[in-house]
Structure 1
């Protein structure tokens, strides 16, 4: 019995020793696994901290991105409104350009019509001036012919005067000679007294001839002055209507040209006023927003 118990004890002791060894082996393995687990736990904690740091950074970045996205959204809305305003301004500008184009076409047509009217006025004025020049030439020819006739008439009077003077000299000299001889024979005076009487008679004859010549010259000069007065009157009558016509024509042309220039300047001022009134500045912030959007 005791042997059996000893054998059983030994057997149980051996079994327990085996179990203890196995348990120790398991314990060592468990410790090794635990160490591995602790190391992994530490690595996991470090990884978790890193991930938490990354997550916090990502959250901050997300918040910044959201804020930036909100800003971009507001900027995009502003840009969209600016683009809409630009399109409306472009449409308004197109309408203004169409209006300006119609105004320019109307101005060109009106200017062409006014140029045609001015051309016709200048042509008619040129025709009138040519006609007036022809009339002036005709009047000048008549004036020159009248003047020539007057000069010829004056020359005829002068020839008549010279002929009269020659006849008077021819008549007076023989009569004076016969009178001188008769008086010398009748009176039988001394030669000195006869010579004195002859000189007196000769002086009287010369005075009579001078008076006759002066009267003839006076008559001719008066006729010549009358002719000059007639020519002056004809020249005044000739120049007065020409002067009046020229002044009226010049004033009429000046008035027409002034009116046409005034109308043209008025049309130009209306176009400039219309363009300046319709022209509006573009908002610089809109352009900046568009440039930022393009970048």
Structure 2
């Protein structure tokens, strides 16, 4: 018996180390599981929400300025931005509930500005604009960023930028600022256009001392991912070549933006100890698209 007891005492450090290691492994596994569940839940919410936007626009495409559609789109964005999804201590400034009229006016303005415009898939362009706003709303960005996301394409390619910017300023001064920050110059060379656009993004971001211009551009890119399958041959490139170029642009330009946004903790999607990673979501989405194409 003494020998057995002695052997037990001799093995105590081993057992202690074993159980500590087991506990740490279980804790790590649990944390990974929790992070994965939040990541998947948020990813699914984004995908399903964008699909609902597309279906909503298709159902009302004959009259996208009708009050019934505007109300439906508004409610979808309000639901996306609901407080219960995030930590309870988030500031109210992240939510649209107190600015329902401004949200309606923003959607209506976007509907008028994109009237008669269509994506390559044949769906009205407004679906993309609302999808961009939905993504920003679901991720808990401030209201002016959500609204800027809805309006992000109203200045680019318009013949009267000054008038448009004045109208956006009338909605909210910061909207005009952020929409202009993500608007590309009027040049045909796509490489030079991208170069100037991303220089502008950095300049406006530095001036505002935040990464919101980059966040809008990332949301725009995510919304574009849902349309990539409908890309047609254009400008001497096949649909496959255009898809490959788009994916390359996402990887080289938008993934670094997503990484910085994560570093700055701009996205308040949290639940207990779980934090949503925009970088991981974007990377996974790009890989999924590559597998499908």
TM-score (norm 2): 0.26
* Bigger Rg, structure 1 or 2: 1
- Which has the larger helix fraction? 1
Answer 1 or 2: higher relative contact order, Cα 8 Å, separation at least 6. 1
